[in-house]
Amino acid sequence: MRKFSTLGPAVLVLLTAVVVLIAGPATIRELTFAQTSARVFQASERLNHDNVLEQVNQAYRDIATLMEPSVVHISARRPMPELRGFRTASTSTGSGWVYDEDGHIVTNYHVIEGADAIEVQLYTGDIRPAEIIGSDPLTDIAVLKIPSGRLHAASRADVRDPVVRGDMVFAFGSPFDFRFSMSSGVVSGKGRSVGVIRNQFGMRTGYENFIQVDAAINPGNSGGPLTNHRGEVIGMNTAIATAPRSTNEEGQFSGVGLAIPLDMIEPVVNQLITTGVVEKGFLGINVADRTMLVGEAYVTRGYRGRGIVITRIDSNRTELMERFEHGDVLVSVDGASVSSFEQAIELAHEAAGQLSDDDQDAITLTVWRFDVEADAGRHRQISLPVDLISDLSTVRTVRLDEPISRMLEQMGFYNQGVLVSRADRNGPAFGAGVRVGDVVTHVNETPVMQLTQLQSVITSLMPDDIATLDVWRYDGERQLGDTMQIDVPLARLDQVRMTGQIDPQRNRNAIESLGIARMRTFTESYAEEVNLRFHPGVLVEELVPGSPLSRQIRRGAVIVSVMETPISDVDEFLEILSSVNLHGTRNGVRIAVINPDGSHATARLRIQ
Residues known to be catalytic: 110, 140, 222
Contact 520, 486 (CB under 8 A): no
The Cα–Cα gap between 355 and 167 comes to: 69
What residue type is assigned to position 523 of the chain? T
Distances (CA, A) of 282 to 14, 72, 457: 87, 34, 10
For residue 541, the 8-state DSSP code is E
Torsion angle of C-alpha atoms 230, 235, 239, 244, degrees rounded to 10: -80
The Cα–Cα gap between 100 and 109 comes to: 18
Cα 64 to the center of its chain, rounded Å? 33
Torsion angle of C-alpha atoms 440, 446, 447, 451, degrees rounded to 10: -60
The Cα–Cα gap between 172 and 237 comes to: 8
The Cα–Cα gap between 252 and 255 comes to: 9
Could you tell me which residues come within 8 angstroms of residue 582 by beta carbon, excluding any fewer than 6 positions away? 496, 500, 501, 502, 514, 588, 589, 605, 606, 607
The Cα–Cα gap between 52 and 54 comes to: 5
The Cα–Cα gap between 136 and 156 comes to: 20
The Cα–Cα gap between 337 and 332 comes to: 4
Nearest alpha-carbon partner for 514 in 578, 431, 604: 604
Nearest alpha-carbon partner for 586 in 203, 248, 147: 203
Beta strands in 122-159 (DSSP E): 127-136, 141-145
Q: What would you report as the CA-atom Rg of the chain, rounded to the nearest whole angstrom?
A: 34
The Cα–Cα gap between 604 and 302 comes to: 12
The SS3 of residue 407 is helix
Torsion angle of C-alpha atoms 297, 303, 305, 310, degrees rounded to 10: -60
The contacts found for 312-316 with CB under 8 angstroms, 24 or more apart, are 312/395, 312/396, 312/410, 312/411, 312/476, 312/479, 313/394, 313/395, 313/396, 313/476, 313/479, 314/391, 314/394, 314/395, 315/477, 315/478, 315/479
Binning the chain into helix, strand and coil, the percentages to the nearest 5 are 30, 35, 40
The SS3 of residue 429 is helix
* Cα distance from N-terminal residue to C-terminal residue, the chain: 98
Instruction: Identify the bridge partners of residue 127 per DSSP, sorted by sequence position.
Output: 121
Contact 235, 260 (CB under 8 A): yes
